[in-house]
Amino acid sequence: MQLTLNSPLDMHLHLRDGEMLRTVAPLSAHSFAAAIIMPNLVPPVTTVEAVTAYKGRILEGIGNEKFDPLMTLFFQESYDVAFLEKAKPYIHGIKLYPAGITTNSEGGVSTIDSAALNMTLTAMSDLEIPLLIHGESNGFVMDREKEFVPVYEDLAQKFPDLKIVMEHITTKESVAALEHHENLYATITLHHLLITLDEVAGGMLQPHLFCKPIAKRPEDREALLSVALSAHPKVMFGSDSAPHPQYAKENCGCAAGVFTAPIALPVLAQLFDTHGKLDNLQTFVSDNAQRIYNYTPPQKSVVLEKKAFTVPEKYGNVVPMYAGEEIGWCIQSVS
C-alpha cells in the first residue's frame, strides 16, 4: 500500500543552530515542503536582521532540498506598529513564551495580561500577524496547560481579529477551547498523539520521551486523537521536533524535547492507517495549515509505503523517537 502526500507542512519545528542545525535541518527539509521555525535560540530571534540571518543559515544547511523555512520572531512587549510593519514581510508569526517555561525561554513574558500587551497585540491584529503561544502556567506540571486555557480565551475575546495558535496542545481542555472562539487554532505533535505520562515515567524513566508540555493522561490523548484523526478544521500538524545531543538527554538534568522529524510522516501514516483514517492525513499535515495561515507551499510529493523500516539509533548525536525499533511505514520517494 502507498500513500502520496502533497506538500506536507510542519507548523512547529525546532532546528537549533550551528552544528545541530546542519544535522537536523536536512531531515525535515527532505520530507516537508515548509515549516514554521521556532525563534528560541540563544540569544532569541527578536529583530528583522536576526530573522534574515537565521533563515540564511537554514537555507545553507539544507543544501539542495526544496524547503521553505517560515520564520518567526520571539515575542517582545516593546514591538510596535512601525517595527511590525517592517518585520511582516519576513515572518509568518510571533511566538510568545511565558518566561522560563521551556527551553531557552528565559527572555519570555513574565505576566501575560491582555491590557499590558495591548499595544503589540493590537498591532499584530491590525497587520494580520498570527500569535503563536506556548501555553503553560507556572503551576503543578500536570495542570499547567489546563490552567492556561483561560488566558487563551481572554486573549481571543479581547482581540477577536487576532489569529491565535495554541501550540502543541496536550489536554482535553485545550481541545474544547477550539470550539469556543473562532480565532483559536492549534498544532498537535506526533508524540502527544502516541504517549501519555505512563510511557515517559510509568516504568523506567524514558528520557527521549520527556518533553514540555509534558505528556498527559489517556483521556487527554484520546481528545487529541479525536480531532487529529478527523482532521478537525482548526488543528494542524506541528511536530515540535526538538533535538538535543544525546548527553543532554541522558543525564540528571534531562533536556526537554522529543526528536521526531525524520520519522514523523511514516509514523503518522501508521497511526492514521491503524485507525482507518488515512484519507484524513493530507488535511491534517497540509491542507488545514495552508488555509489557516493563508499560505501556498512549494510543490513536493512524498510517497509513503506500508513497509517495515528500522529507525536509526542516532542521527548525528541525536537519538530519535523509536530509535532502533521497527515501524510499519517508510518514505518510498520524494519528488
The number of CA neighbours under 13 Å toward the Cβ of 250 is: 7
Write down the catalytic residue from 240, 273, 279, 287. Answer: 240
Cα(165)–Cα(168) distance, rounded to whole angstroms? 9
Cα(196)–Cα(183) distance, rounded to whole angstroms? 28
Through-space distance between the first and last CA atoms of the chain, rounded to whole angstroms:
18
To the query of whether residue 240 is one of the catalytic residues in this protein, the response is yes
Strands (E), 140-295: 164-166, 184-188, 235-237
Kind of pairing, strands 235-237 and 184-188?
parallel
Cα(71)–Cα(93) distance, rounded to whole angstroms? 7
C-alpha closest to that of 211 among 145, 257, 261: 257
Query: Left, alpha or beta for 218 (phi > 0: left; psi -120 to 50: alpha)?
Result: alpha
SS3 41: coil
Q: Which residues are catalytic?
A: 240
